[in-house]
Amino acid sequence: MVRKAFLLLAIIYITVSCSEPKDIRVACIGDSITEGAGIHWQSKYSFPVQLDSILGPGYSVLNCGRSGATMLKTSNLSYWICNEFSNVFAFEPDIIVIKLGTNDSKPQNWNEESYYNDFHGMIDTLETIPTHPKIYLCLPVPAYNHNWGISDSVIVNSIIPSIKKLATEKNLGVIDLYKPLSNHPELFPDGIHPNEAGAKLIAEEIAGAIGRK
């Protein structure tokens, strides 16, 4: 009798667990801006964490940002070889937000043709994830100075056009982070990395795109 009751409870538990809706998993691929560099309390105020809060129940956001990372395979630190890239696959996300390009703009890294081809290759690779994630491409935020060799000119004239072209070719959504964060140098204490308020604005822009019905 006890065994029957136990089996009945197990069946009920499994049935309820299977019927409960799963969170929509969102993976944020990026560099130090995604990771939260310059923000004192990254675990609370990096933009992926704030994105998770804005999206609310039903969503789970994973910060896969790696400081210094590039989209380019040949660079001083390619995202392709970072553990965070492996974490994306282990997470099996339903949505992927890619924000890579700021570090690619450095003179020692930049190659327009390679950037486009490597970005194309990353999308193709991410599309092999069993969950068939929806992928969004972010236009980088402005660079207000040349710290670390980062070039706003390259971002505007080469990286953003490449991302737009790729999004059109692959029929992917684009999230413009450049325009809403333009003319706001006060949100970038070192000229490159947003503060808490800047990260919140990024999170709001992304939430508005991926949370749109």
Residue ranges covered by each domain of the chain: 22-210
Cα–Cα dist 149/208, whole Å: 31
> Could you tell me which residues come within 8 angstroms of residue 153 by beta carbon, excluding any fewer than 6 positions away?
none
CA atoms within 13 A on the CB side of 191: 10
- Answer whether 22's CB lies under 8 Å from 177's CB: no
> Could you tell me which residues come within 8 angstroms of residue 125 by beta carbon, excluding any fewer than 6 positions away?
none
Give residue-wise pLDDT tens across range 78-109.
999 999 999 999 999 999 999 999 999 999 99
Cα–Cα dist 42/117, whole Å: 32
CA atoms within 13 A on the CB side of 20: 9
Cα–Cα dist 126/130, whole Å: 9
Amino acid at 46: S
Cα–Cα dist 92/42, whole Å: 23
Which helix (H) or strand (E) element contains residue 83?
helix 83-91
Q: What angle, rounded to 10 degrees, do the helices at 47-55 and 196-210 form?
A: 50
Q: What is the pLDDT of residue 20?
A: 61
Average pLDDT over residues 17-26: 74
Cα–Cα dist 151/159, whole Å: 10
Indicate the average pLDDT of the chain: 91
Give residue-wise pLDDT tens across range 185-200.
999 999 999 999 999 9
Radius of gyration over every alpha carbon of the chain, rounded to an integer in angstroms: 19
| Residue length of the chain | 213
Q: What is the pLDDT of residue 211?
A: 81
- Answer whether 103's CB lies under 8 Å from 75's CB: yes
Q: What's the pTM?
A: 0.89
Residue 12 has pLDDT above 50, yes or no: no
Identify the CATH class of 22-210: alpha beta
Cα–Cα dist 67/212, whole Å: 29
Give residue-wise pLDDT tens across range 36-79.
998 989 989 999 999 999 999 999 999 999 999 999 999 999 99
Handedness of CA 142, 148, 153, 155 (dihedral sign): negative
